[in-house]
Amino acid sequence: MPLNRVQEPFVFKSQMSLVEMTGRRAGDLAEFGLHLKEVPEASVYYHTHHFLQQHQFLVPEPPNDFAYWVASVLQEEELGERLAAIDTVQFHTLGELRGAITAAIDRHLEKQKTLRKAPPGEEFYFMKCILFTFPTTYVAYDLKEFLGCLERVSVGCLYNHIFEARLRPPLGMNDFSYWLRKSLDEEDLAKRIESLDPYTHTMDGLRKGIIRLIARRLGEESGG
């Protein structure tokens, strides 16, 4: 299938966030569960996603602040493991994600007789963020240009189009796959990118994975 070139380009947009404190903190699991039900969604988003951006060079673990705090600070390893295993990629709204996390905590609390206290100073502080999105200078009219941009855009930009995009309509879809499908008619490529679980890669690993898929597609077209 020949490569398409479109009139309306894909504009790479980046994102940055300003962290704010909610003033809420938890010293044990009961307090933690209670606050988690009440904090704004921006707080759930922050604690399930910021690790990816702040520790983008690490093996993709630990996946979220909740799992990390429960396992490392409270030493509740079983629950920590369960929270780490909550498949963020399956949830298209933060409300659903919050529901899954609080349900796991509630189940654990039901069978727990005593509560472990976090050592002083290691309480869980609930934060939230204000997310700023802005267009970059990178635009692509075809797949080749798209690949060129992808090699150069920032981690914040990747993050915006892959993670943040999934929480915007059309829900659950990254911007790259959406554009490739709708504008370039690259259904197969769109599907392949969709099937990458972004939460199991470092940001750089993810970038390389997508680049590999696009390069292969371009190679097919040029007969390589």
Partner 1 sequence: MVKLSDYEPIVGPQVMEELKLLSKNLAGKKVIHVNSTSVGGGVAEILDRMVPLMNELGLETRWEVIKGGEAFYAVTKKIHNALHGAPQGLEESEYEIFLDVQEENLKAMRFDGDVIFIHDPQPVGLVKARKSLGNRWIWRCHVDVSSPHPGVWNFLKAYVEQYDKSVFSAPLFSQKLSIPQALICPSIDPLSEKNREMSGEEIDGIMSRLKIPLDKPLVTQVSRFDRLKDPVGVIRAFKQARKYREARLLLVGGTADDDPEGAQVLLETRQAAGNDPDVLILSLPPTSHLEINAIQRVSTVILQKSLKEGFGLTITEALWKGKPVIAGAVGGIPLQIAHKYSGILTHSVEGTAYWLKQLLQDPSYATKLGENGREHVRQNFLLTRHIRDYLLLFLSLDYPGQSAVAL
| Nearer to partner 1 among residue 5 and residue 50 (C-beta) | 50
- Are the C-beta atoms of residues 18 and 132 closer than 8 Å to each other? yes
Choice from 1, 130, 171, 211 touching partner 1 (CB under 8 A): 130
Q: Taking CB under 8 A as the criterion, which residues in 166-195 touch partner 1? A: none
Residue 52 or 180: the one with the smaller Cβ distance to partner 1 is 52
Binding letters toward partner 1, positions 40-59, x by CB under 8 A: xxx-----------xxxxx-
Distance of CA 132 to the CA centre of its chain: 16
Q: For 219, phi and psi rounded to 5 degrees?
A: -65, -40
Q: Select from 93, 112, 136, 200 the one that contacts partner 1 (CB under 8 A).
A: 136
> For residues 166 and 174, is the Cβ–Cβ distance under 8 A?
yes
- The single residue among 131, 173, 215, 218 that binds partner 1, judged by CB under 8 A, is 131
- Min dist. Cβ of residue 136 to partner 1 (A): 6
Size of the site for partner 1 (CB under 8 A): 40
Distance CA 167, CA 212 (A): 25
DSSP one-letter code for 9: E
Choose which of 1, 107, 133, 197 interacts with partner 1 (CB under 8 A): 133
Identify residues 140-159 at the interface with partner 1 (CB under 8 A): 152-156
Burial of 161 (0-12, 13-18, 19+ CB in 10 A): buried
**Looking at beta carbons only, is 5 or 202 nearer to partner 1?**
202
What residues between 15 and 44 interact with partner 1 by CB under 8 A?
Answer: 16-21, 23, 25, 40-42
* Residue 7 in contact with partner 1, rule: CB under 8 A: no
Cβ–Cβ under 8 Å, residues 64 and 88: yes
User: Is the backbone of residue 35 left (phi > 0), alpha (psi -120 to 50) or beta?
Assistant: alpha
* Angle 23-65-80 from CA coordinates, rounded to 5°: 120
CB of 64 to partner 1, least distance (A): 12
